[in-house]
Amino acid sequence: MPNRLAQETSPYLLQHADNPVDWYPWGEEALTSARRQDKPILLSIGYSSCHWCHVMAHESFEDAEVAQAMNTHFINIKVDREERPDLDQIYQLAHQMLAQRGGGWPLTMFLTPQQIPFFSGTYFPKQPRYQMPGFLDLLPRIAAFYTSHKNEISEQNAQMLAAFDATMPSNNGHGTQLALAPLDNAARELAAGFDPVWGGFGKEPKFPRPTELDFCLRYATAGGMVRVGEMALFTLEKMQQGGIYDQLGGGFCRYSVDARWAIPHFEKMLYDNGPLLGLYADAYALTGAPRLRQVCEETVGWLVREMRDAAGGFYSALDADSEHEEGKFYVWTPEAAQALLTPEEYAVLAPHYGLDGPPNFEAKHWHFVIAKPLETVADSLSISIESAQQALTSARAKLFSARENRVRPGRDDKVLTSWNALMIKGLARAARAFDKPEWAQLAQQAVDFIHDRLWQNERLLASYKDGQAKLNAYLDDYAFLLDALLELLQTEFRAQDLAFAQDLAERLLAQFEDPAQGGFYFTSHDHEQLIHRPKPGPDQATPSGNGVAVCALQRLGHMLGETRYLDAAQRALTLFYPAISNQPSGYTTLLIGLKENLSPPDIAVIRGPAPALAPWRAALASIYLPHAVTLYLPNATTGLPASLAKPETPQVNAWVCHGVTCLPAVTTPEALIALCKGAQGD
Q: What is the pLDDT of residues 598-642, one digit of tens each?
A: 999 999 999 999 999 999 999 998 899 999 999 999 998 988 999
Residue where one domain finishes, among candidates 405, 434, 458: 405
- Kindly report the CATH number assigned to the domain that includes residue 567: 1.50.10.10
Asked if residue 275 and residue 346 are part of one domain, the reply reads no
Establish if 584 belongs to a structural domain.
yes
Asked if residue 45 and residue 124 are part of one domain, the reply reads yes
Asked if residue 335 and residue 253 are part of one domain, the reply reads no
Establish if 43 belongs to a structural domain.
yes
Residue where one domain finishes, among candidates 405, 427, 453: 405
Picking from 69, 64, 63, 34, the residue whose alpha carbon sits closest to that of residue 139 is 69
Establish if 525 belongs to a structural domain.
yes
Tell me if 314 sits within 8 A of 305, measured CB to CB: no
Q: Tell me the C-alpha distance between 82 and 270, whole Å.
A: 12
Q: Tell me the C-alpha distance between 64 and 60, whole Å.
A: 8
Establish if 171 belongs to a structural domain.
no
Tell me if 79 sits within 8 A of 44, measured CB to CB: yes
Establish if 175 belongs to a structural domain.
no
Tell me if 450 sits within 8 A of 481, measured CB to CB: yes
Residue where one domain finishes, among candidates 350, 370, 405: 405
Alpha helices (runs of H) in 288-416, residue ranges in sequence order: 290-306, 334-340, 343-353, 374-381, 385-403
Establish if 498 belongs to a structural domain.
yes
Asked if residue 619 and residue 580 are part of one domain, the reply reads no
Tell me which residues of the chain have a pLDDT lower than 50.
none
For the chain, the first-to-last Cα distance in angstroms comes to 66
Give the three-class secondary structure for 553.
Answer: helix
- What order of strands is seen across the sheet that includes strand 268-269? 268-269, 317-318, 411-412
Q: Tell me the C-alpha distance between 681 and 183, whole Å.
A: 13
Asked if residue 455 and residue 364 are part of one domain, the reply reads no
Establish if 275 belongs to a structural domain.
yes
Asked if residue 575 and residue 446 are part of one domain, the reply reads yes
Q: What's the pLDDT at 679?
A: 60
Q: What's the pLDDT at 612?
A: 96
Asked if residue 105 and residue 15 are part of one domain, the reply reads yes
Domain interval for residue 45:
4-166
Q: What's the pLDDT at 639?
A: 85
Q: What's the pLDDT at 682?
A: 53
Q: What's the pLDDT at 276?
A: 98
Give the three-class secondary structure for 454.
Answer: coil
Q: What's the pLDDT at 174?
A: 59
Asked if residue 139 and residue 42 are part of one domain, the reply reads yes
Asked if residue 609 and residue 555 are part of one domain, the reply reads no
Q: Say how many domains are in the chain.
A: 4
Picking from 542, 531, 590, the residue whose alpha carbon sits closest to that of residue 164 is 531
Asked if residue 102 and residue 126 are part of one domain, the reply reads yes
Asked if residue 593 and residue 634 are part of one domain, the reply reads no
Q: Tell me the C-alpha distance between 442 and 426, whole Å.
A: 11
Establish if 173 belongs to a structural domain.
no
Q: What's the pLDDT at 1?
A: 76
Asked if residue 641 and residue 517 are part of one domain, the reply reads no
Count of all residues that appear for the chain in the document: 682
